[in-house]
Structure 1
Amino acid sequence: MTEKEARLLRIGVLGCGPIAQAAHFESCTKARNADLYAICDVAPDLVERMAWTHKPQRTFCDYDAMLADPDLGAVIIATSDAFHVQAAQRALEAGKHVLCEKPLGISVEEVEGLRSVVQRANRIFQVGHMKRFDAGLQAAKSFIDTEMGELLALKAWYCDSTHRYATTDAVQPLLVKSAFARKPTENPKADLRRYFMLAHGSHLVDTARFFAGDIVEVEARLNERFGAHCWFVDVAFASGVIGHLDLTVAVRMDWHEGFQIYGEHGSVVGKTYNPWYFKTSDVEIFRESDATSYRPLGADGHFYRRQVEAFSDVVLHGKQMVGASIDDGVASVRAMAAIERSVATRCPVALADVSGPV
């Protein structure tokens, strides 16, 4: 365990469901500069079980009561996607800093509305695109920013596996459910096409933006066969870089995720693992100047804990944010909505012109 610093950010986690159990509770207890101060869920049996396991200082079944606690510094929103925007707005209006799970929301209009709230609130707001805290991706980003020169093109892929649950069930903690859990009005998995885009496409889009900057236009195709969904997306970046994204759920093979980036003074190739392995991406960086490659180790692969620590450093010490901002979260939702419009119209779609739900 990392030794705790003298000054800790007191964090309350809203939602005691799977992502909180698998990632956020442990991240707060292990973070060097944060404390799992409170947990909150409408399901009292789930709160009791999680409190016994993770030992927060406070427990709540009422969100407003948690937000009214003057000792609470920040909130991690770990609810269903449909509740993200409303929960974030209430936390900001209560004067709390916010780390909100991805995707930021499920429609362009609601996330644009939240951006206005963030701008007024004068609080730190970060979106939980935890792959930005993969040391391999960070090494690639550093090379791009300092040595690669102009970028030419980017390819990235996120291909979930038909065998993912055989993998995740072996490495995740036992995920506890409750009959009292609050669920969205509509079952998110009733429309698998939309669910896969929000759950997995948000990772792929943010990774592409992390490396190559703002996306301005997409042209997408979707193939649906034997229960699988495959999106191929041609991407235009504001910088003039061209890109290709492959989102496939699910491939009949092992987890297949990674990227290739071609630039003026070198290239980067990366292989990313199932996130629940907590294993840093294998990244090979090639320098044209001396015709050599190197591979950063990235021994610390706990992306969720590193995300909490970076967020806490911004809040406590005013350090520069390295995670995804509200603008990044909005751009991700816009890109996903544009991909869906492009599939429907079979035409290129500019992100600036898109509206409505993903």
Structure 2
Amino acid sequence: MNVKDDRRLKVGVLGCGPIAQFAHFDSCIKARNAELHAICDVASDLVNRMGATYGPTRTFLDYDRMLADPELDAVIIATSDAFHVEASRRALAAGKHVLCEKPLGVSVEEVEDLAATVRDSGKILQVGHMKRFDIGLERARDFVRDEMGQILALKAWYCDSTHRYTVTDAVQPMPIFSKEALKPAGNPKADLRQYYMLAHGSHLFDTARFLCGDIVEVSARLTEKFGAYSWFIDVEFANGAAGHLDLTVAVRMDWHEGLQLYGEHGSVIAKTYNPWYFKSSEVDIFSERDATWHRPLAADGHFYRRQLEGFADTLLDGAPMRGADIDDGIASVRAMIATARSVASGKPVRLADVEGRL
């Protein structure tokens, strides 16, 4: 059984769609230092069903009414990408902390404006790059920070699979949908380049930055064949390390995600699983210090729950922020837009120079 701390962050979840059902409601129920205080959606049937299933203290059909609740501490934004910035802005204005699903936004200007709102509010905004709470990747980051020395190069790949939905349909509960659900204008999947980059590229770029630091420039090419999209992206890190990122949707094989990282005093090789297995990455760390491979067990693979617990630790106890902050979210958006610009121009693009939307 889950043991709850006496002091708990009172969380409201905005959006009762699949990502909330698969990840965030369960995280609130299981987190040691948080509780599901409220849920909100414009779809009354979803709110009623999720309320009966997960037992929040309060349910709302109106977001502003949930934000007006004086007992509410923080909001998880679990809506469509197009609504992330505005929903975050309204929560901050109401004096609530925010954990916003990735990607933070879809344009440079809107996420930069949101950053100003975060600074003015004095509140915490954490971006839902939950792979930062994969214990295997955390141990790799610790080795890079504490022992590896200079980083020489990173190769990382994120390859969705044609068999992904066969796998996820078997391991996930059946998602509940509603005809009343609020949808963004237009079809997000109408432009698959944009859709795949936002859904998957944000993970790849943030993992690269988590391990190797800021990205200053990308040089990308895109190959499209038989309905598949493959971005090969050469990356320049601020510390002088070289990087090569492979984003492919979808490979004709199993889910294929991982990395190889070479440094002055060791190397890291990692295999990452489909996130809905809730299985930590298998990470092998070779240290020149003892000429030995090390692999952490990393038994706890509930990244979403660990992400919420880290968020709550920061808010309740002042612990250092372990997740992605507003600047990390902006950097991810900039990297994705720079990649699109590089593909279009055939030239390298510096992240600091991009503007507009993906």
**Interval of TM-score (by shorter of Structure 1 and Structure 2):** over 0.9
- Normalising by structure 2, we get a TM-score of 1.00
Q: For residue 229 of structure 1, what is the amino acid of its counterpart? A: Y
Q: Which runs of 4+ in 1 moved over 2 A?
A: none
* Superposed displacement of residue 289, structure 1: 2.0
Match of 2:80 in 1: 80
Q: For residue 27 of structure 2, what is the amino acid of its counterpart? A: S
Deviations 1:166-219 (A, max 9, x none): 000111111000000000012111111100000000000000000000000000
Match of 2:167 in 1: 167
Structure 2 distance, partners of 1:192, 1:38, is 34
Match of 1:298 in 2: 298
Match of 2:122 in 1: 122
Q: For residue 223 of structure 2, what is the amino acid of its counterpart? A: N
Where do 5+ consecutive residues of structure 2 fail to align? none
Match of 2:144 in 1: 144
Deviations 1:61-104 (A, max 9, x none): 10000000000000000000000000000000000000000000
Match of 2:11 in 1: 11
- Normalising by structure 1, we get a TM-score of 1.00
Structure 2 distance, partners of 1:92, 1:154, is 36
Structure 2 distance, partners of 1:117, 1:277, is 36
SS at match of 2:260: strand
Structure 2 distance, partners of 1:66, 1:308, is 19
Match of 2:233 in 1: 233
Match of 1:327 in 2: 327
Match of 2:201 in 1: 201
SS at match of 1:177: coil
Deviations 1:112-155 (A, max 9, x none): 11000001110111000000000000000000000000000001
Structure 2 distance, partners of 1:68, 1:294, is 50
Q: For residue 78 of structure 1, what is the amino acid of its counterpart? A: A
SS at match of 2:269: strand
SS at match of 2:189: helix
* Superposed displacement of residue 290, structure 1: 1.8
* Superposed displacement of residue 2, structure 1: 2.1
Within 5 Å, give how 1:1-358 maps onto structure 2.
1-358=1-358
Structure 1 distance, partners of 2:86, 2:283, is 38
SS at match of 1:321: coil
Report how many aligned residue pairs link the two structures.
358
Q: CA RMSD in A?
A: 0.5
Deviations 1:212-244 (A, max 9, x none): 000000000000000000000000011101100
Q: For residue 11 of structure 1, what is the amino acid of its counterpart? A: V
Structure 2 distance, partners of 1:333, 1:214, is 13
Structure 1 distance, partners of 2:96, 2:129, is 20
SS at match of 1:328: helix
Structure 2 distance, partners of 1:17, 1:322, is 26
Structure 2 distance, partners of 1:18, 1:225, is 30
Identity among equivalent pairs (%): 70
Structure 2 distance, partners of 1:208, 1:130, is 14
Structure 1 distance, partners of 2:346, 2:49, is 49
Structure 2 distance, partners of 1:55, 1:192, is 37
SS at match of 1:188: coil
Structure 1 distance, partners of 2:137, 2:52, is 36
* Superposed displacement of residue 47, structure 1: 0.4
* Superposed displacement of residue 284, structure 1: 0.2
Q: For residue 137 of structure 2, what is the amino acid of its counterpart? A: L
Structure 1 distance, partners of 2:192, 2:54, is 33
